[in-house]
Structure 1
Amino acid sequence: MSNTPSSQAILSELREFASFSPCEQRYIRRSLDIGLARADAFRLWGRTPREKASIRAQYVVYQDLKLLRRDMPKGENLDTIEAFMGPMLRVSTFDLSQEALTSFCAFRFLYERLLGAEVRRWLPAAFCGAAALPQIRPEKRKKLLQSISEAAATAPGWSSREPAFYPEYVELEAA
C-alpha cells in the first residue's frame, strides 16, 4: 500500500479549504508561508504597514513552532503537557487575535499543516483555551467558542493521516 495521499483525500481537503472565507483562506496561506518557511511573506502578503507589522509579529511568534514540533506530547503523561500547551496557547492566541480565523475548522486546517496530524488531539483544548482568553474581543470570543462542535470537542480519537493539500499563494494576472 502506498503512503501517497489519495486523490479523494486531496479533493476533500481542497473542498474544505474552499469553504473558508476569502479572509481565512488568505490568512491560512500567509501563515503556511511563514510557519513552513515557504516564501517571503512580506513580499507576498504585506500590502499595508499594518499588515507588515502583523507579519513581523507572526514571524516572531511562529518561532515557537519549532518547540511545538519538538515537545509534542507522545503519550498521556501529564508532565509533558506544560512544555507543549504554553507555547501552543501563545501561538493560537496570536492567530485568533488577528481575527482572520473565524472558526475551529479553519484553525484546525491551519494547525494540522503547521504541526502535522499528531497535533489533532491537542487542537480542541488549544482553540478553546486561546479563544477564551481576554486578548480576544468578547463578541469574537463568543463566535469562536460557538464554532467548535460537540463532536470535535469530545472526539474519542483522531486520524493519523497527514494532510495532503497545502494551499499556496496564487498570482492573479491582470486581464
Structure 2
Amino acid sequence: MATTGTASLTINEMREFASFAPAEQRYIRRSLDIGLGRQDAFKLWARDAEENAAIRSQYVAYQDLKALRDMIPNETGFENIEAFIGKLTRVAAFDLAQERIDCFSSFRFLYERLLGADVRPWLPSAFCAAAALPQIRPSRRKMLLQSLSEAAATAPGWSDRAPSFYPEFIEKEAA
C-alpha cells in the first residue's frame, strides 16, 4: 500500500512539473543540475555565450545552497533566522531575476528539491521577500506576488515528505 501512495505522489509531482511553462521546466532542470551537482551544466545547457554566462552566474549564486541545507531554522524558534532568510532571499532573488520562474508553484517545486522538504515553511516568506526587491521589474514583481495563493501564504502546516520526482535533461532524438 505504501508503494501505491508513493507512486501516486510521484505522479502528482510529475503532473505539477508538466503544468509549468516550457521555459520554467528547462530552468528547473538546469537549476537542479547546477544546484545538486548532477551534470556539467555548461556542456548540457549552454546554447550560446549568453547562456554560458548565465550558467556561470548561477553556479556562483548557488554556492550557498550547501550552507542553507545545513542551517534551516526550527519553525518555532527565532535563532539563525536572519542568516538563513538573508541567504535564501539572495539566492531566490537571483532565480526570480532570471525571469524563468513565473509563479510561486514553480519556485516551490525547485527549492523543495534544491534544499529539501524542511525548507517548505520558509519558502513563502523568501519568495515574497525576493519578489518584492527592486531588482525585479515592477510588472514582474506584481505577477510573482499575485501567484502566491492565500492558502500557501497561510498554511498551518507543511509536509515533511521528501520530493520524489527530480526532472532531468531529456535529449531530443533526431528524426
What TM-score range do you get, normalising by the shorter chain? over 0.9
Q: How many residues align?
A: 175
Instruction: Give 1:2-151 correspondences, 5 Å limit.
Output: 6-151=6-151
1:67-87 deviations in Å (ceiling 9; x for gaps): 101111024221210120111
TM-score calculated relative to the size of structure 1: 0.96
**Unmatched 5+ stretches in structure 2:** none
Q: Separation in 2 of the partners of 1:49 and 1:96?
A: 21
Contact 2:72-2:119 at 8 Å conserved across structures: yes
Q: CA RMSD in A?
A: 1.4
Shift of 1:6: 1.2
Structure 1 stretches of 4+ with a deviation exceeding 3 A read 1-5
Distance 1:107 1:115 in 2: 12
TM-score normalised to the size of structure 2?
0.96
How many Å separate the matches in 1 of 2:130 and 2:5?
Answer: 31
**Is the contact made by 1:5 and 1:164 (CA closer than 8 Å) also made in structure 2?**
no
Q: Which amino acid aligns with 2:85?
A: M
- Taking the aligned partners of 1:78 and 1:134, their CA distance within structure 2 comes to 27
- 1:165 matched residue in structure 2: 165
Aligned partners of 2:67 and 2:82: how far apart in 1? 12
Shift of 1:4: 9.7
